[in-house]
Amino acid sequence: MSETRALRDRLEQTQAELRRAKGHLEKLRAHQARELEPLRQQLEEARREVAGLRRRLQELESPKVEPAPAPEAVKPGPVMDARSPNTLVALVRSPYPLEPALPQLTRLLNLAPVDVRFRLAQMPPVVVARLPSSQAEEMRTALRAEGFLAVTHRVSPRGEQDWMSAKRFRLEEQGLSVEDAVGTGRHVRYAELRLLVRGRRSITLVEEKEDEKYEFRGRVPRRVIVKVEEKREQMENFLWVLGKDFRAAFTQSTHFMGLGDQLAFTVHENLQRLMGELRRRATHVVVDERLVQMPRFLMPLVEPSRSQELFAGLLFQAVDEGLWV
């Protein structure tokens, strides 16, 4: 009996040590994952900077042809060069397992295997390239020809964005009507809605304040009022509604009287109730709430401030083409 008890005690002791070792290993893995993400972001930023410097160097080395001056009466707006890398190429889903597909992707994307792995580690849709529109379409066609679900999305200049910031809205019988702050209205039928994206984002608010200081000229100080800018970060909840030729953003600036009896006290609750009402009226719509947990989401090859917007654009493209399931 004593030998059996000793063996049982030894077994329990070994199991306890194993549990402690397992717990320690899980903590180490979590710590490593937390440290790895900032390093990935820094590496991607460095790569973008190097790519920008290379483009700048090529522009400086290439001969420039001055365009003929336009008539004074005609003031054309900014035009994006068709040869500029203005289109994103993304995979709707990362291939799993990756190893069998890695040689194909390395060849199609013209990237090193380590770069392919890095790109595919992001949240889908996964951006793999940013190219001029014609080259982007060629890459999308080549990827699809070899079985990869790929989409493209144009990165429009900031002045050409077609998003409407919703100030007021009405939930009508057949569709959603939205007005912006100046009263411009747009309407979309519920049948034309495709995607609802709810999330949070970090915004920087700049306030101009007056401060006073004293200037000494001789022995008499002089009081001077100066204007200073004060910046502060704030988290903003949003709901983006995307449909056929329709983009609307609902934020803390929106008046939610259109909810009627469902009107709540907070922006967070009102956005949730508006999303629920749209889902009820458009049962086919796709809902994505991953950006709620990622207010500082970064996407490779784009400006950090536009990562969430372009992520939604790529996701809409995948949904509209029936590739997102």
Report yes or no on whether pTM surpasses 0.75. Answer: no
Which CATH number characterizes residue 283's domain?
2.30.29
Q: Which segments of the chain have a pLDDT < 70?
A: 1, 31, 35, 50, 53, 56-83, 159-161, 216-220
Instruction: Examine residue 304 and state whether it is found in any structural domain, yes or no.
Output: no
Are both 12 and 33 inside the same structural domain? yes
User: In this predicted model, what pLDDT tens digit does every residue of 33-67 receive, in sequence order?
Assistant: 776 777 777 777 777 776 776 776 666 555 444 44
Are both 187 and 245 inside the same structural domain? yes
**What's the token pair of residue 157?**
């200049």
Looking at the structure of the chain, the number of domains it has is: 3
Instruction: Examine residue 248 and state whether it is found in any structural domain, yes or no.
Output: yes
Are both 149 and 166 inside the same structural domain? no
208 touches 229 (CB < 8 A): yes
Are both 123 and 178 inside the same structural domain? no
Instruction: Examine residue 267 and state whether it is found in any structural domain, yes or no.
Output: yes
Q: Which residues pair with 239 in a beta bridge?
A: 198, 250
Are both 127 and 3 inside the same structural domain? no
Instruction: Examine residue 65 and state whether it is found in any structural domain, yes or no.
Output: no
Instruction: Examine residue 68 and state whether it is found in any structural domain, yes or no.
Output: no
250 touches 271 (CB < 8 A): yes
User: φ, ψ for residue 260 (rounded to 5)?
Assistant: 65, -125
User: In this predicted model, what pLDDT tens digit does every residue of 206-262 receive, in sequence order?
Assistant: 777 777 777 766 666 777 777 777 777 888 999 999 998 899 999 999 999 999 999
Are both 113 and 173 inside the same structural domain? no
Instruction: Examine residue 54 and state whether it is found in any structural domain, yes or no.
Output: no
119 touches 91 (CB < 8 A): no
Instruction: Examine residue 273 and state whether it is found in any structural domain, yes or no.
Output: yes
Domain carrying residue 167: 162-204+233-294
Ordered strands of the 87-91 beta sheet: 126-131, 87-91, 150-154
